[in-house]
Structure 1
Amino acid sequence: MIQDKATSQTSYERFLHRVVDSKQVWGLQHPDGGWAICSSNQYEDTSVYVFWSDEAYARRVAIGDWGMYVPTQIDLASFIDNWLKGINNDGHLVGLNWDVNLCGSELEAIEVAQALIRS
């Protein structure tokens, strides 16, 4: 299932506004320390790291294969300086505020970092 472009854009903008206000990002972390990632819906052989602006958004996706994962807070400065730089350097993408069907925009990490810094 693919989310329409307008809904994906709204989710992305919501992510930016809420993260800038709260200074925190949420990911899903497995008890063994790994983080929730999935295959890209758009690009072959590309992984997408998924993040949310709110704990509740992350929690609603912690089902099925991700049922053991726990919403975990990441400081915004660390997210920009460490996470996004590393994801970009490794050639992966980020998915922000994806819905329960794991649908949403797949973005280059450097674009997200620039948008957060501008906000």
Structure 2
Amino acid sequence: MFQDSATTKENFERFLKRVKESGEVWGIQHSDGTWATSPSNEYDETLVFVFWSDKAYAKRHCKEIWSDSAPSMINLDSFIDNWLKGMHGDGHLVGPNWDAHFFGMEVEPIEVAQRLIEHNS
């Protein structure tokens, strides 16, 4: 069952708050070194990189097509300075705190960076 927009917004806000508090972002890294992505539900030929605010959230997604994967931590500064800038330049989106059904908001990397920096001040 798909989430409503209020729930996906709450997950995004939770992502921002927890990442700011911990200084950590969690992704899923495959055994070959690549990171978990998903095709966009909103835009053709657009890739969404999925990230979570907590290791446990990421870990629960290490199943099915991602069963050969493990949660991997990214430092917040590196996430903002390297990941989000690179994703913006490449035209990718961010999937923050997607649910167990691999569903959630698809956000422009620049918006995520701005919101994390806002929360940082």
Q: Where on the TM-score scale, by shorter chain, does this alignment land: which range?
A: over 0.9
> Aligned partner of 1:22: which letter?
S
Tell me, which stretches of 5 or more residues in structure 1 are unaligned? none
Aligned residue for 1:106, secondary structure, equals coil
Percent identity among equivalent residues?
56
Per-residue deviation, 1:101: 0.5
RMSD over aligned Cα, in angstroms? 0.7
Instruction: Give yes or no for the alignment of 1:20 onto 2:20.
Output: yes
Determine the C-alpha separation between the residues in 1 that align with 2:64 and 2:21.
Answer: 31
Per-residue deviation, 1:3: 2.0
**What aligned pairs does 1:1-119 form with structure 2 within 5 A after superposition?**
1-119=1-119
Aligned residue for 1:61, secondary structure, equals coil
> Aligned partner of 2:25: which letter?
V
Q: TM-score, normalised by structure 1?
A: 0.98
Q: TM-score, normalised by structure 2?
A: 0.96
Tell me, which stretches of 5 or more residues in structure 2 are unaligned? none
Determine the C-alpha separation between the residues in 2 that align with 1:66 and 1:60.
Answer: 10
Moved over 3 A (4+): none
